[in-house]
Structure 1
Amino acid sequence: MATTEKKTKATAEGQGGFRQAQAWLHTWCGLWFSWLLFAVFLTGTLAVFDDPITHWMTPEHHAEEEAAAALAAKGVPAADRAQRLAWGMAYMAEHHPRAQMWELWPSDANGGGELKVYWFDANNQYASAALDPSSGKPLAPAAGHAVRATLGGHHFVDFHYELHAGTVGLWIVGIAAMAMLVALVSGVITHKRIFKDFFTFRPKKGQRSWLDAHNAVAVLTLPFQFMIAYTGIVISGATFMPAGKILHYGTGNAAQAQFASELSDGVKPARTGRAMDVPALEPFAARGQALMGQAVRAVVIDHPGDAGARIGVYGWNSEDESVRRLSGTTGMAMFSAATGEVQRVRMPGAADGGTAMLAQSAMSGLHMVTYGGWGMKWLYFLCGLAGTAMMGSGAVLFIVKRRHKHLGEFGAATARVYRLVEALNVAAIAGLAVACVGYLWANRLLPVALEHRADRELHVFFALWALALLHAFMRSPARAWREQLGALAALCLLLPVLNVLTTGDHLPAQLLRGDWESAGVEFGALAFGLAALGALRHLPKRAAR
């Protein structure tokens, strides 16, 4: 009997020791990465709606859309696809005859819209031009409506996965994603009553309330958090595990470009050196559409003007296809320009590179929510907000727990470390949110004709974030929270007013014309502003306690 009791006691102590170790791992792994993960999650959540944000940040396009609608209302006939492709080819032959690639987008998914052409310029940068769909002439900006240069919502996409720091940033985010998986697993092990705690919330209980909130948002979206972290790592696997790619292709830029080309389009044909005019594109477009079963999105000519030219026809994913397919790849048909021979066909939803690439494409669809339509985007947005709250509440919980109980983890320097954590919490949570909405303000306040304007908007974002960090160190934590949340509330709630003053556009007009993208951005800003006001109302009571 005594032996059994000793074994039971030893087992309990072992389990307790293991859980204690996981609690330590969860606390410190979560803390040191929580600020970066909060930034990644918040910007990733906003990136779900990067297209609507870009739409709001380019108000000059609204005038172009209204002009196109007015022409349609007057009955001005739009040219058919064959004519549009001919005009696009003529423009490229006149202005960019030596470009390595011509890419023509004859229309939108419904057969209307602008005619757009793309190419790589002398610096190997992607360049574009819009042509009038009724005449083929280049579209000049309307008087008084120069289009502002901006990264738009893609800023949040870039920051979310590589911090605007290229490969180095990608590695940093990848390491943070691994730390997130460690924190998630250790958190599940630590909280033995995690599902029971999910249904428990005790308001106005200080540390207990923060822990309840942290548990609730974590358990509610736990499958989503695991999925988003894992797929984020997998889709960048070639960067994190590059040995095979380097061994076969080498490390130079040309070698990496060859790898990317072969992965996506197969081996591109070499120039033959024999001149040959580009044939009419409409027959290729019609054959490609029939082969892949999709409306034509783009026609791409590799090595135009050479006998070795190749013509690729790419399709549009319909809304129904986007809802039911994880893989976001479209159909594609590749032809020899000289003989018209079909070289390769890819059906919608398939992937070049076999099963492995199809799996990665599906992982990309899961991570980037290219499936499920607007309903799935809203689900990702809400789950992303919950994940953001999980990171933020965890960081705040660390310091709330130690506010009245000095644990002395760092000896004589513990108080200074706690102060550092407090300041980083303010800057990482409230300060980043201020920087994000400040980025939208910069879009409206910077002169439209300013050189390097898109870069200046980014500079405003990072400058506001740096100022928030400096402010958090200069003020007491309670005052820093109050002042930065106050600034966030003011910037969010006044954003629609700023839009009226700078563009003349406003929410009622957006709703009347059915511009739900612009209206959604401004309603979102108002919602975040009200949330900041709610947090602000709670702060004086907490500070008094």
Structure 2
Amino acid sequence: MSMKLEKAVKTPQSGGLRQAMAWLHTWSGLWISWLLFAIFLTGTLSVFEEPIGHWMQPEHALEEAAHASEPPAPKVADRAQRLALALDFMASAHPQADMWEIWPVQRPGQGLSAYWFQPQGGYGAADLDPLTGKEIKCAHGGVQRATQGGHHFVDFHYELHAGRIGVWIVAITTMVMLVALVSGVITHRRIFKDFFTFRPAKGQRSWLDAHNAVAVLTLPFQLMIAYTGLVFFADDYVPAPVLAQYGVDNAKKSFLADWNDVGKPARSGQPLAIPDLEPFARRAEQAIGQEIRAVVLDNPNDASMRVCMYGWNEDGELFKRISASTGRACYALASGVETAVRQPGGSDTGGAALTRNVMASLHMASFGGLPMRWLYFLCGLAGTAMMGTGAVLFLVKRRQKSLGEFGAATARVYRLVACMNIAAIAGLSIACISYLWANRLIPIGQELRAGWEVRAFFGAWLLTLAHACLRSEKRAWIEQLALLAALCLLLPLLNLLSTGDNLAAQFARGDLESAGVELCAIAFGLLAAWGARTVGTRKSAVVAKKTAPANINRSTTMENNA
């Protein structure tokens, strides 16, 4: 008997590579699944950051609709005059700024704008009247509600609203995710067969089938999105090359200066009047083959002045290339000599910078237009489902064949895991839709209003965790999914009562961004309602038999992991 038990018991170290990978996949996946679910869900919503932000500023959307019947503004024919007006404004309002940036292009949503570096850091901005050059104090009629809009989800996605600490937490989580992905591939011998297998209403088997299907379906996407996310902050995660090149003092600042301001001249201290910039804009358009979007003047009124002309990426161009960098042509104004040219999709600083640009474009779906964004959105949802089903699968398996990993506290640990599952999956979803509700319910004139919307997000999420801990697991799932369904399905009604806007009016005026947000909310609401009904009609899980010795259970569970 003892010989049989000795053969049955296998540890991750003695069970071969696949057993070790199964153990690694299970436990590494569990502790990060909750955070990864949050990162993936908010990242998926970030794909449509602009439509969400558009919906969250209804006054702006309605104002656009009011002017929709007006004929479109003609293409700029007086760019030289616009540039001169903007230069006059900057010379009188911000003469000490060492960088002036002008957007002279007349396009939908674009007029005449000026930007500059603030002495205390950061950008300053002003909208200018294209006829007089005077600053327009209020670019839009009426009161605009302060909101972070869809950018809230972007910030949470990569830094958890926690600054550099959050960036590092996300980085470590992403590294563990790569470990879980690779170990999951090694563990599943029938990975492609499992993709075509789904057995509904089979408890643990159904959760495993769902987990395998969404994992295999989007595996290349998950690997790509995790790797490119790490490349984003490579200079932070692997600082040694930067320190070796620039030294210890202000290494990051020097690196970024070379990266972003390549070839920027130092001030000479000799005065020089700013010449007419329109001839340089025409030269730049011929050199890069794009219409000029932005004009950046370094060291204005100094003999070292340099002007850089940046092109405009047309929609069709980003269907042909992945890199989203625009064309760029720079000129020394003292001599008129062309100092640098970058073709659209190229790089100023070599292959390494181009590779980084491509990685960034891959991660942010900044190519391929709307079809690519929808592909990323659907793959992101599948990845989110993979994290959620993995977390639920862990608990289902352990409850059926508990190994007593935590001794007498095992039951309490599993209860905590159940609470975390509910709050991480249903609770975060409630927090996301609560953020949209807060946008309509918080008064427009509320001080620090945008911050209160974010507080509503975290407050709702914290309440779902408390609710999950106070209610039985099944009731908590049902109640939170039902609440999620109600909040999503009633969002269009809330919008109607608070702004007077509705889906029919949105389609009538061609506001597909606002309509898309509300239609997606309805779709998620129906899905949540189906989930609540499914959980409510499901029979309680059968309690695992306790007659088998713990060591036999341990061996069986490890074989199931494989």
TM-score (norm 2): 0.89
* Equivalent of residue 449 in structure 1, options 440, 445, 451: 445
User: Within 1, Cα distance between the matches of 2:533 and 2:210?
Assistant: 18
* SS of equivalent to 2:71: helix
User: Within 1, Cα distance between the matches of 2:539 and 2:97?
Assistant: 64
**Structure 1 contact 42–384 (Cα < 8 Å) conserved:** yes
Distance change >3 Å, CA 138–CA 543, structure 1 → 2: farther
| 2:414 aligned partner, one-letter code | Y
* SS of equivalent to 1:514: coil
User: Within 2, Cα distance between the matches of 1:268 and 1:143?
Assistant: 36
CA displacement at 1:210 relative to structure 2:
0.5
| 1:180 aligned partner, one-letter code | M
Q: 2:95 aligned with 1:83, yes or no?
A: no
Residue in 2 that maps onto 1:173: 170
**Structure 2 contact 127–139 (Cα < 8 Å) conserved:** no
Q: 2:222 aligned with 1:222, yes or no?
A: no
**Structure 2 contact 430–461 (Cα < 8 Å) conserved:** yes
Unaligned runs of 5+ in 1: 1-12
Distance change >3 Å, CA 124–CA 160, structure 1 → 2: same
* Equivalent of residue 206 in structure 1, options 199, 203, 206: 203
* Equivalent of residue 360 in structure 1, options 356, 359, 373: 356
User: Within 1, Cα distance between the matches of 2:456 and 2:283?
Assistant: 49
Distance change >3 Å, CA 52–CA 134, structure 1 → 2: farther
* SS of equivalent to 1:72: coil
Distance change >3 Å, CA 324–CA 100, structure 1 → 2: same
User: Within 2, Cα distance between the matches of 1:544 and 1:328?
Assistant: 52
User: Within 1, Cα distance between the matches of 2:512 and 2:294?
Assistant: 27
Structure 2 counterparts to residues 292-303 of structure 1, below 5 A = 292-303=288-299
* SS of equivalent to 1:388: helix
Distance change >3 Å, CA 323–CA 192, structure 1 → 2: same
CA displacement at 1:457 relative to structure 2:
1.9
Q: Which moved more, 1:528-537 or 1:476-485?
A: 476-485
Q: Deviations over 1:75-108 (max 9, x none)?
A: 8997632222222222222322222221111125
Residue in 1 that maps onto 2:304: 308
CA displacement at 1:493 relative to structure 2:
1.2
User: Within 2, Cα distance between the matches of 1:59 and 1:397?
Assistant: 41
User: Within 2, Cα distance between the matches of 1:392 and 1:298?
Assistant: 44
User: Within 2, Cα distance between the matches of 1:155 and 1:539?
Assistant: 31
| 1:445 aligned partner, one-letter code | L
Distance change >3 Å, CA 116–CA 143, structure 1 → 2: closer
* Equivalent of residue 499 in structure 1, options 479, 489, 495: 495
Q: Deviations over 1:314-346 (max 9, x none)?
A: 011111211111111110011123222211111
Distance change >3 Å, CA 521–CA 172, structure 1 → 2: same
User: Within 1, Cα distance between the matches of 2:283 and 2:420?
Assistant: 59
User: Within 2, Cα distance between the matches of 1:189 and 1:308?
Assistant: 59
Q: Deviations over 1:60-82 (max 9, x none)?
A: 32245346545537x89976322
Q: Deviations over 1:28-75 (max 9, x none)?
A: 0000010111111111111111111122122232245346545537x8
User: Within 1, Cα distance between the matches of 2:306 and 2:391?
Assistant: 55
* SS of equivalent to 1:488: helix
Q: Which moved more, 1:168-177 or 1:272-281?
A: 272-281
Q: Which moved more, 1:463-472 or 1:188-197?
A: 463-472
Residue in 2 that maps onto 1:542: 538
Residue in 2 that maps onto 1:101: 99
Structure 2 counterparts to residues 170-319 of structure 1, below 5 A = 170-250=167-247, 255-319=251-315
Distance change >3 Å, CA 24–CA 250, structure 1 → 2: same
Residue in 1 that maps onto 2:335: 339
Structure 2 counterparts to residues 136-175 of structure 1, below 5 A = 136-141=133-138, 145-175=142-172
Residue in 2 that maps onto 1:129: 126
Distance change >3 Å, CA 386–CA 501, structure 1 → 2: same
Residue in 1 that maps onto 2:4: none
User: Within 2, Cα distance between the matches of 1:348 and 1:381?
Assistant: 27
**Structure 1 contact 78–133 (Cα < 8 Å) conserved:** no
CA displacement at 1:260 relative to structure 2:
1.2
User: Within 2, Cα distance between the matches of 1:505 and 1:242?
Assistant: 50
Residue in 2 that maps onto 1:423: 419
**Structure 2 contact 103–112 (Cα < 8 Å) conserved:** yes
- Identity within the alignment, %: 59
Residue in 1 that maps onto 2:552: none
Residue in 1 that maps onto 2:51: 52
Q: Which moved more, 1:431-440 or 1:265-274?
A: 265-274
Residue in 2 that maps onto 1:3: none
**Structure 1 contact 478–543 (Cα < 8 Å) conserved:** no
CA displacement at 1:355 relative to structure 2:
1.0
Q: Identify which of structures 1 and 2 has the higher relative contact order when contacts are C-alpha pairs closer than 8 Å and 6+ apart.
A: 2
Structure 2 counterparts to residues 360-509 of structure 1, below 5 A = 360-509=356-505
Distance change >3 Å, CA 98–CA 70, structure 1 → 2: farther
Residue in 1 that maps onto 2:115: 118
* SS of equivalent to 2:536: helix
**Structure 1 contact 261–267 (Cα < 8 Å) conserved:** no
Unaligned runs of 5+ in 2: 1-11, 542-562
User: Within 1, Cα distance between the matches of 2:66 and 2:505?
Assistant: 17
* SS of equivalent to 2:538: helix
Distance change >3 Å, CA 114–CA 220, structure 1 → 2: same
Q: Deviations over 1:330-371 (max 9, x none)?
A: 100111232222111111011122111111211112111111
Q: Deviations over 1:149-171 (max 9, x none)?
A: 22221221221112122222121
Q: Deviations over 1:499-527 (max 9, x none)?
A: 22222221111111111111111111111
Distance change >3 Å, CA 290–CA 263, structure 1 → 2: same
Q: Deviations over 1:200-246 (max 9, x none)?
A: 11111111110110011011111111111111112321111111212
User: Within 2, Cα distance between the matches of 1:258 and 1:143?
Assistant: 39
Residue in 2 that maps onto 1:35: 34
User: Within 2, Cα distance between the matches of 1:233 and 1:325?
Assistant: 22
Aligned length in residues = 530
User: Within 1, Cα distance between the matches of 2:140 and 2:340?
Assistant: 46
User: Within 2, Cα distance between the matches of 1:347 and 1:77?
Assistant: 24
CA displacement at 1:250 relative to structure 2:
4.5
**Structure 2 contact 482–532 (Cα < 8 Å) conserved:** yes
* SS of equivalent to 1:233: helix
CA displacement at 1:174 relative to structure 2:
1.2
| 1:402 aligned partner, one-letter code | R
